[in-house]
Amino acid sequence: MGPVDSKRPVVLIVEDEFLLRMEAADMVNAAGFEAVEAANADQAIEILEARRDITVVFTDIQMPGSMDGLKLARAVRGRWPPIKIVATSGRLRLGETDLPEGGRFLPKPYSSTQINGVLRELICES
C-alpha cells in the first residue's frame, strides 16, 4: 500500500433532494475532498458500514425514511465517534446542544466557500 496522505478526505453527503445533493457533491469535490452520496439515512448507514474512509458526514436534517438528519448524527456519533458531523437545513435553526459534540450546523442556502471553510476546519481538528 502507498502513502495514505495523498488521498483526499471523504465526505458522505446525505440529502434526499437529488439536485441539492448533486450541487453539494460538486462543492465538496471543488473544495478538494472526495464526495460520496446517499439519498437518505438508511443508505448513509449502509455506506458507513461498508467503507472505513469516511471523514465527515454532511447531512440534511429533514429527510424521509427511518431517521432524520439529527437521529443520523447521533447514530454516527455512537457507532463511528471519529467521524465529524455537519448538519444543514433551510427550515430549522439549531442550537449547539441539538447536535452531538463537535457537530456543526450550516444553514441553507450555503455557498461553496462556507462548505470549504467548515470542512477544512473539521478536518484540521482531527
Per-residue pLDDT tens over the stretch 8-63 = 999 999 999 999 999 999 999 999 999 999 999 999 999 999 999 999 999 999 99
Q: How far apart are CA 85 and CA 77, in angstroms?
A: 8
Domain coordinates of the chain in residue numbers? Answer: 10-125
> Nearest-CA neighbor of 87 among 75, 66, 72, 65?
72
| Residue 110, C-alpha cell as written in the block | 450555503
Instruction: Please provide residue 65's backbone torsions phi and psi, each rounded to the nearest 5 degrees.
Output: 115, -165
What is the pTM assigned to this prediction?
0.92
pLDDT per residue over 8-22, tens digit each? Answer: 999 999 999 999 999
Does domain 10-125 fall under CATH 3.40.50.970? My reply is: no
pLDDT band at 97 (very low <50, low <70, confident <90, very high): confident
